[in-house]
């Protein structure tokens, strides 16, 4: 499908959202309000898997994550003048560096969350600076400095580096292993065989299926420690989330802030995808989208929430329904905020058994690694180029083998299981890819030369 830039329309800051009841619904159009609310709820369900699972892996409170996901989506909506259909959910790009900076054990609340929040704010500030530069000079320099061979290698290295964390979560015993694998199986069957919209919600269905299976076998048959519903029963239905403030430490900032580069590449790819599915380029809003995402990340971290980013899941829902109205994401954002004020819902999320989260993590982290390959394929990366091969080879080896680096007080990596291990290759592989790219611009379409 070709994309064309729509001519500027002289109207107010926000569109007027013309009512339309049939056919393709473009961003500046809307369905009747009843259908708009239902479709917005559909997007809320689509984002739920990633927005809830990512915070759990890092030890964030799910209520705060949902609250600031909704707030961030509304901030993004205002900054882009309601013209870019997108939802902002919890970003997985922060997982490894947050675990490293805080020494998180992987269970319960993260006791050093304030350290990570300072770094996430720094990432948001760096992201905002990049957005301001793009406003002045355009986005071409980003595409030149971060070609697909680099972004694909970094994304794949993130997934490979996180893999041991996921496997460890399902290695507490045979029962835990089987629950994790069956959760993976449920996700796979949902993605492949489920009808209609359900096929686009494999993480949500997998979490629900794994939870019910664990509940049956543990609470019902007594094969494992039962799920404790004490906290769930005691939690009120409505209540204010407990906010957490940041603290700023130079080492944590140095470690976490460069994630902004990944967020830029991620957001750029998602906005290109939106242009493709709508048939209308949104390139003229790239600078605003970067700025909106950066502000949302900063606001989230100041309140104790994770960094946020645009979500591909919601792009998939739009492609399936052909409804691109930006008002849907206002509805989804408001619903997310309302769930953030429900301690009962947060307690339910926190009651998800560790092996189920482990199974979800196996799929999610694997998908992150696979996304790197997808970037290479879609952009026709030339694997006959020595520069490209060395870039990818060094990054993937450093990522998979967990190369140990030390920055100040943070020692990252090593073969022994430790909370800080996941971050080493993220730093080292990012540095490797950027340094190799500095050898010269990657020429993806250069003629093949026989050896």
**DSSP character string of 227-242:** P--HHHHHS-SS----
Which pLDDT tens digit goes with each residue over 400-447? Answer: 776 766 655 555 543 333 433 333 333 434 444 434 443 344 334 333
Q: Does this model's pTM top 0.85?
A: no
d(CA 87, CA 308): 10
pLDDT of amino acid 11: 65
Q: Which residue, 425, 328, 342, 382, is CA-closest to 82? A: 328
Q: Which two tokens stand for residue 135?
A: 């406003």
pLDDT of amino acid 203: 78
Taking all residues of the chain, what is their mean pLDDT, rounded to a whole number?
80
pLDDT of amino acid 10: 52
pLDDT of amino acid 405: 67
pLDDT at 184 over 50: yes
pLDDT at 24 over 80: yes
Looking at the chain, the whole-number percentage of residues with pLDDT higher than 90 is 25
The residue-averaged pLDDT of 60-82 equals 93
Do 399 and 425 form a contact (C-beta atoms < 8 A)?
Answer: yes
Q: What's the CA angle centered on 210, arms 209 and 213, to 5 degrees?
A: 85
Instruction: Give 236 or 371, the one with higher predicted confidence.
Output: 236
Name the range with the highest mean pLDDT among 176-190, 218-232, 426-440: 176-190
Do 89 and 50 form a contact (C-beta atoms < 8 A)?
Answer: yes
The residue-averaged pLDDT of 77-93 equals 91
Instruction: Give 209 or 93, the one with higher predicted confidence.
Output: 209
């Amino acid at each position: 499908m070709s994309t064309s830039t729509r001519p500027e329309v002289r109207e107010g800051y926000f569109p007027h959202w013309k009512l339309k009841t049939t056919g393709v619904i473009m961003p500046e159009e809307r369905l009747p309000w009843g259908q708009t609310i239902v479709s917005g709820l559909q997007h809320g369900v689509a984002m739920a898997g990633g927005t809830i699972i990512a915070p759990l892996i890092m030890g964030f409170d799910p209520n705060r994550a949902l609250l600031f996901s909704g707030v961030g989506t509304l901030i993004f909506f205002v900054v882009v003048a309601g013209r870019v259909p997108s939802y902002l959910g919890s970003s997985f790009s922060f997982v490894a560096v947050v675990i490293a900076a805080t020494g998180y054990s992987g269970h319960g609340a993260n006791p050093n969350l304030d350290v990570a929040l300072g770094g996430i704010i720094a990432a948001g500030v760096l992201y905002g600076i990049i957005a301001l530069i793009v406003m002045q000079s355009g986005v071409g320099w980003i595409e030149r400095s971060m070609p697909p061979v680099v972004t694909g290698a970094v994304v794949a290295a993130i997934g490979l580096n996180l893999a041991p964390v996921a496997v460890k979560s399902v290695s507490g015993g045979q029962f835990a292993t089987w629950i994790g694998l069956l959760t993976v199986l449920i996700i796979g069957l949902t993605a492949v065989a489920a009808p209609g919209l359900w096929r686009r919600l494999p993480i949500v269905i997998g979490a629900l299926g794994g939870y019910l299976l664990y509940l049956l076998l543990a609470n019902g048959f007594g094969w494992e420690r039962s799920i404790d519903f004490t906290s769930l029963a005691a939690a009120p239905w409505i209540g204010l989330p407990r906010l957490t403030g940041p603290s700023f430490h130079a080492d944590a900032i140095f470690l976490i802030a460069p994630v902004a580069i990944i967020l830029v590449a991620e957001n750029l790819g998602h906005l290109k995808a939106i242009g493709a599915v709508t048939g209308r380029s949104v390139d003229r809003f790239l600078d605003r989208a970067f700025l909106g995402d950066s502000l949302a990340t900063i606001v989230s971290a100041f309140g104790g929430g994770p960094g946020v980013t645009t979500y591909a899941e919601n792009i998939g829902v739009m492609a399936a329904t052909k409804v691109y109205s930006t008002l849907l994401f206002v509805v989804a954002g408001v619903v997310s905020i309302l769930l953030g004020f429900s301690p009962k819902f947060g307690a339910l999320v926190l009651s998800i058994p560790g092996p189920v989260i482990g199974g979800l993590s196996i799929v999610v982290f694997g998908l992150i690694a696979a996304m790197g390959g997808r970037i290479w394929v879609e952009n026709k990366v030339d694997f006959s180029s020595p520069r490209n091969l060395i870039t990818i080879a060094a990054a993937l080896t450093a990522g998979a083998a967990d190369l140990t680096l030390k920055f100040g007080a943070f020692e990252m990596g090593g073969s022994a299981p430790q909370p800080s291990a996941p971050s080493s290759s993220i730093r080292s592989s990012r540095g490797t890819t950027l340094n190799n790219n500095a050898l010269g611009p990657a020429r993806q379409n250069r003629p093949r030369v026989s050896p």
